[in-house]
């Protein structure tokens, strides 16, 4: 058993356990971290079914469970209210302890229930998608979507522990699995050249979901995200580098009405934003090609299948709700593992360069 990764935040810290079989330790960790509490699991119904059928490598969960239908459409205030009402109806009190089981949707939704239930109760994250393990379960952001956009209502509410079990990824759909790897490539690009070259070397093992390779991948990504968010919980500064590739990715998602899955949009966004860094003379020529090469080996897109005009993407970036008053900003790389910080953690880019860079993927 390797030691957990410790993520610190304003009010304390929590361990992230990353190892095959971690889900089997849920009861033990709950006894330690949620001692004496009345437990309820809030779970993605499809994942819960796998759990109870013994397909996640551990015995069925014997306790109370509240389920929601899988998918982003469950990340709503209505679903948050229904889950909260169910807890209230069952008389859950201030001694409640929650467990979020599933992908990023479960973590965000159950985390937001935990953040607000009786002004906040502790919870454990049990992420079961690659994206949730190496990205969504770390950092303490919880919330739901609104008709106006994603993640517009939420709270910072860090979990008391995260149990990431790479063995539980065996059942994950191929497209969801590969999508998660786009965020790992991002982590290598923003913070660790050795990690990036390790992924290049181990691409085949990763595609096979080799447990040892996967454990190392999740661990290193969690370490990088933990390191970035520990110093900047509320995204005042360095946390912005986690948005590498995401300015373009969010525009792609908006223009296609979320027809492109997030991980694939991030892959395309990384390629376009590396091209932008090259055009602006921040990064050496060839960086974008190297990043695209790894993404392609991991089965991720590096060019749009149905072409889109760069203008539509530029418009979508400018009208992003979160940017309403601000100008469009990018977190750009200098080199593998090194981000540009000359103009702060993010910077604006000349319109002509953005347009040109977008032709790398459109």
Ligand X SMILES: NC(=O)c1ccc[n+]([C@@H]2O[C@H](COP(=O)([O-])OP(=O)(O)OC[C@H]3O[C@@H](n4cnc5c(N)ncnc54)[C@H](O)[C@@H]3O)[C@@H](O)[C@H]2O)c1
Least separation, in Å, of the C-beta of 346 and ligand X? 18
Shortest Å, Cβ 286 to ligand X: 29
Write the Ramachandran bin of 260: left for phi over 0, alpha for psi from -120 to 50, otherwise beta.
beta
- Write the DSSP assignment of 260-325 as a string of letters: S-HHHHHHHHHHHHHHHHHHTTSS-TTHHHHHHHHHHHTT--SS-SS---HHHHHHHHHT-GGGSS
75 part of the active site? no
Q: Give me the phi and psi of 154, to 5 degrees please.
A: -175, -170
Tell whether residue 245 is a contact of ligand X (CB under 6 A): no
State the catalytic residue, choosing from 37, 79, 141, 279. 141
CA distance 256 to 270: 18
| 262 classed as catalytic | yes
Given the residues 27, 72, 202, 235, select the one marked as catalytic.
235
Q: How far is the CB of 324 from ligand X (least distance, A)?
A: 20
Note whether 184 binds ligand X by CB under 6 A. Answer: no
Residue from the set 141, 187, 219, 239 that interacts with ligand X by CB under 6 A: 141
Residues 31 to 70 in contact with ligand X, rule: CB under 6 A = 44, 46-47, 50, 70
Residue 29 makes contact with ligand X by CB under 6 A: no
CB 243 within 8 Å of CB 332: no
Ramachandran area for residue 336 (φ above 0: left; ψ -120 to 50: alpha; else beta): beta
Per the annotation, the verdict on 253 as an active-site residue is no
Using an 8 Å Cβ cutoff, are 273 and 353 in contact? no
- What is the distance between the alpha carbons of residues 273 and 362, in angstroms, rounded to a whole number? 13
Q: Which of 131, 271, 277, 339 binds ligand X (CB under 6 A)?
A: 131
Q: How far is the CB of 133 from ligand X (least distance, A)?
A: 9
Q: Examine residue 252 and tell whether it contacts ligand X (CB under 6 A).
A: no
For the question of residue 119 being annotated catalytic, the response is: yes
Nearer to ligand X, 89 or 257 (CB): 257
33 is catalytic: no
Neighbours of 240 (CB within 10 A): 19
Burial of 126 (0-12, 13-18, 19+ CB in 10 A): buried
Q: How far is CA 307 from CA 38, 248, 253, 257, 304, in A?
A: 53, 15, 14, 15, 6
Say which of 183, 223, 253, 278 is annotated catalytic: 183
Asked whether 102 and 43 are in contact (CB, 8 A), the reply is: yes
> Rule CB under 6 A: which of 100-119 touch ligand X?
102-106, 108
CB-nearer residue toward ligand X: 105 or 124: 105
* Residue of minimal Cβ distance to ligand X: 104
The tokens for 314 are 């530029």
The strand ranges marked E within the chain are 5-9, 12-18, 38-44, 64-68, 96-102, 123-127, 141-146, 149-156, 161-164, 333-335, 338-339
| Given 139, 159, 245, 301, the residue binding ligand X (CB under 6 A) | 139
Residues 156-175 that bind ligand X (CB under 6 A): 168-169, 171-172
Total residues at interface with ligand X (CB under 6 A): 29
Interface segment toward ligand X; rule CB under 6 A; list 99-107, 230-238, 269-277, 335-343: 99-107
Q: Rounded to the nearest whole angstrom, what is the least distance from the CB of residue 238 to ligand X in the complex?
A: 15
Sole residue written with tokens 């969960």? 61
Contacting positions for ligand X (CB under 6 A): 44, 46-47, 50, 70-72, 75, 102-106, 108, 128-129, 131-132, 135-136, 139, 141, 150-151, 168-169, 171-172, 176
Residues marked as catalytic:
119, 141, 183, 225, 235, 239, 243, 246, 250, 262
């Amino acid at each position: 058993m390797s030691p957990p990764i410790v993520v610190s935040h304003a009010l304390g810290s929590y361990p992230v356990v990353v190892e095959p079989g971690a889900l089997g330790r849920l009861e033990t960790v709950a006894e330690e971290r949620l001692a004496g509490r009345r437990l309820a699991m809030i779970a993605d119904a499809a994942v819960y079914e796998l759990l109870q059928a013994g397909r996640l490598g551990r015995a069925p969960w014997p306790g109370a469970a509240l389920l929601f239908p899988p998918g982003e459409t469950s990340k709503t205030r209505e679903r948050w209210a229904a889950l909260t009402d169910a807890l209230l109806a069952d008389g859950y009190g201030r001694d409640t302890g929650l467990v979020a089981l599933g992908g990023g949707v479960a973590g965000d939704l159950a985390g937001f229930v935990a953040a607000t239930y009786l002004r906040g109760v502790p919870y454990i994250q049990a992420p079961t998608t690659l994206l949730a393990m190496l990205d969504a379960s770390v950092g303490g952001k919880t919330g739901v979507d609104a008709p106006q956009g994603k993640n517009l209502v939420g709270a910072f509410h860090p979990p008391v522990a995260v149990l990431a079990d790479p063995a539980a990824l065996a059942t994950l759909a191929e497209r969801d699995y590969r999508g998660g790897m786009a965020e790992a490539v991002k982590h290598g690009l923003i913070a660790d050249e050795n990690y990036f070259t390790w992924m290049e070397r181990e691409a085949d093992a990763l595609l096979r979901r080799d447990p040892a390779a996967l454990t190392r991948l999740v661990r290193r990504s969690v370490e990088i995200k933990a390191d970035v968010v520990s110093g900047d919980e509320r995204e005042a500064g360095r946390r912005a580098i986690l948005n590498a590739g995401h300015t373009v990715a969010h525009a792609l998602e908006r223009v296609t009405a979320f027809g492109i899955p997030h991980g694939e949009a991030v892959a395309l966004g990384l390629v376009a934003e590396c091209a932008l860094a090259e055009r602006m003379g921040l990064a050496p020529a060839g960086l974008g090609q190297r990043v695209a090469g790894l993404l392609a080996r991991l089965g991720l897109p590096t060019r749009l299948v149905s072409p889109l005009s760069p203008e539509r993407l530029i418009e979508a970036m400018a009208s992003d709700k979160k940017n309403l008053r601000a100008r469009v900003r990018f977190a750009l790389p200098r080199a593998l593992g090194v981000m540009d910080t000359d103009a702060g953690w993010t910077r604006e880019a000349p319109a002509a360069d953005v347009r040109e860079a977008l032709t790398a993927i459109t």
